[in-house]
Amino acid sequence: MKENVAILGASQKKDRYSYKAFQMLLEYEHRVFPVHPVLKEIEGHTVYSSIKDIEEKIDTLTVYVSPKWITPLITEIVTLNPGRVIMNPGTESDSLKEALDQAGIPWMEACTLVLLRTSQFS
């Protein structure tokens, strides 16, 4: 089943894992919602300046920002109420985990790229 996937910390830099995830999610035909506070588009796809700007139901929020940037976004993440949150390596945040647990939002520490390549994403 194809999902609506928001990428928190999307990048247009081809060497970044968030860019690789953007490309691979499109390759696997998911609907992608890149989020970055400054970028306007990535390869023709609209970039949302905040997850608050996304009006679609998000099945998966995949996180590519360091824990120090996550803390001020926790309320927005919980309000988004995604079907699940994937904390990619290096993005793990105990305060986010706790907030997600309290809100009943499933989360996992995993690599989006590996989940896609091994057919474990959906």
Query: Contacts for 52-57 with beta carbons within 8 Å, 24 or more apart?
Result: 52/76, 52/79, 52/80, 54/6, 54/80, 56/4, 56/31, 57/4, 57/83
DSSP letters, 5-54, are EEEET----TTSHHHHHHHHHHHTT-EEEEE-SS--EETTEE-BSSGGG-
What strands, in cross-sheet order, belong to the sheet with 31-35?
Answer: 31-35, 4-8, 60-63, 84-87, 107-109
Identify the structural domains of the chain with CATH numbers, from first to last.
4-117 (3.40.50.720)
The pLDDT of residue 77 is 97
pLDDT in tens, the chain (122 residues): 699 999 999 999 999 999 999 999 999 999 999 999 999 999 999 999 999 999 999 999 999 999 999 999 999 999 999 999 999 999 999 999 999 999 999 999 999 999 999 999 98
Q: Which two tokens stand for residue 38?
A: 């400054």
The pLDDT of residue 1 is 65
The pLDDT of residue 122 is 84
> CA nearest 108: which of 48, 96, 4?
96
Say if pTM beats, i.e. exceeds, 0.85: yes
| Burial track 22-55 (b if 16+ CB lie within 10 A, e otherwise) | bebbeebebebbbbbeeeeebeeeebbeebeebe
